[in-house]
Amino acid sequence: MNTAFARTLRVWLLLLLALLVVQFALAGFGVGYGGGVGAGFRLHFVNGDVLLFGYAAAVVLALAARPGARIVRLTVLGTVLVLLQHAMGLLSVPGTVWGQSLFFFHALNGLALIFLTFRTGRLVRDRLRERAAQAAAAR
């Protein structure tokens, strides 16, 4: 495992976690602003794009850190879930049962992303601690 890249990945996942929490706040702002998909959701859309590129960068960091297959897979899963968020946002038709159902799953998927990002960050932290304990024991 490359410790420098693993530490960077850990910080990057914390940043993504913060952006995901902000994303929920921006969605609430958009709903309160007028409810329709329009100007109130502009920042929500921009932050969603930042999250997509941020998760793509996290995959590269995970591959460079070599923390184990599980962490890399979870990071790739996060990227797929963000892509799914984009697809649900594009396919949704406001004011219809189909659209409201997609918005429901859009919110649940967002919660899953928060949990996944938190859990992946903890796995990286635990792996770093294991590595440090092994290095201390070897001395």
Q: What is the spatial distance between Cα 62 and Cα 2, in angstroms, rounded to a whole number?
A: 10
Q: What is the spatial distance between Cα 94 and Cα 67, in angstroms, rounded to a whole number?
A: 42
Q: Poorest-confidence range of 49-53, 90-94, 104-108, 113-117?
A: 90-94
Domain boundaries, the chain: 3-138
DSSP 95: T
Percent of the chain with pLDDT over 70: 96
**Stated length of the chain:** 139
Q: What is the spatial distance between Cα 105 and Cα 81, in angstroms, rounded to a whole number?
A: 11
Q: Distance between alpha carbon 58 and the CA centroid of its chain, in Å? A: 9
pLDDT tens-digit map of 25-84: 998 888 777 666 677 788 989 999 999 999 999 999 999 999 999 999 999 999 999 999
Q: Distance between alpha carbon 23 and the CA centroid of its chain, in Å? A: 10
> Residue 62: what residue type?
A
CA proximity to 92, closest of 36, 44, 20, 21: 36
